Structure 1
Amino acid sequence: MDHRRCPAAHPDDPTPCTGPVAVTVLDTTNAGANGCEHHGARLLASLAGGRVYALPDAPTGAAIRVFKAADGIRPFCWIEGPRTEPSQLSRAENRARAHL
């Protein structure tokens, strides 16, 4: 059985890929990785100032789905333990806290 995963999958993230490699996620220095939508979103959520772009043969809407999913995912979400600092929360959680 082939257990290879997309380049965007963090080595410590135990989740499998979902779908084909469809997006490129770039950090603020333009270093990046191609990935499935699932791992692309998890990677984007773990980057400050990251960007996502659909690959030429990606399904329609792939980049926006990744962008929207990343908003609700905590950085390095596979790490267990208490999460209380803003850098440990999702962007959506931080927005909600700002409106309290």
Structure 2
Amino acid sequence: MVVNTQPAGGRCPAAHPDDPTPCVGPVVVTVLDRFNGGADGCEHHGARLLASLDGGRVYALPHAAPGTAIRVFKAADGIRPFCWFDGPRVDPSQLSRAENRARHGA
């Protein structure tokens, strides 16, 4: 089995072109949108992508360490959608899921 430890071109497919951050670690997850379109990524970009999707899902790749998908899922909860964009964030769609829960007392 070949394990992708260094993304081709320096960044994984889950990294948004406007997101300036580098990959953190190997490609270990697949993030899917509600229509089953997806991208493989490192934990960092997987979480950022998942946070930006409505109805997204994350799955660990076969070579990933146990708990990888859960870590990405939990990290995405506190990340604002498209977090690399600056500007005021006041609408629920611009806030993280954790921020929306805190606002609504859930």
Q: Where do 4+ consecutive residues of structure 1 move more than 2 Å? A: none
Question: Counterpart amino acid of 1:4?
Answer: G
Q: CA deviation at 1:3?
A: 5.1
Deviations 1:7-35 (A, max 9, x none): 00000000000000000000000000000
Match for residue 34 of structure 1?
40
TM-score (ref. length: structure 1): 0.96
Q: CA deviation at 1:61?
A: 0.9
Percent of paired sites with the same residue: 79
> Structure 2: how far apart are the matches of 1:23 and 1:94?
26
**Residue 98, structure 1, aligned to residue 96, structure 2:** no
> What are the ranges of 5 or more consecutive residues in structure 1 without an aligned counterpart?
none
Aligned residues, how many? 99
> Structure 2: how far apart are the matches of 1:85 and 1:3?
35
TM-score (ref. length: structure 2): 0.90
> What are the ranges of 5 or more consecutive residues in structure 2 without an aligned counterpart?
1-7
**Residue 8, structure 1, aligned to residue 14, structure 2:** yes
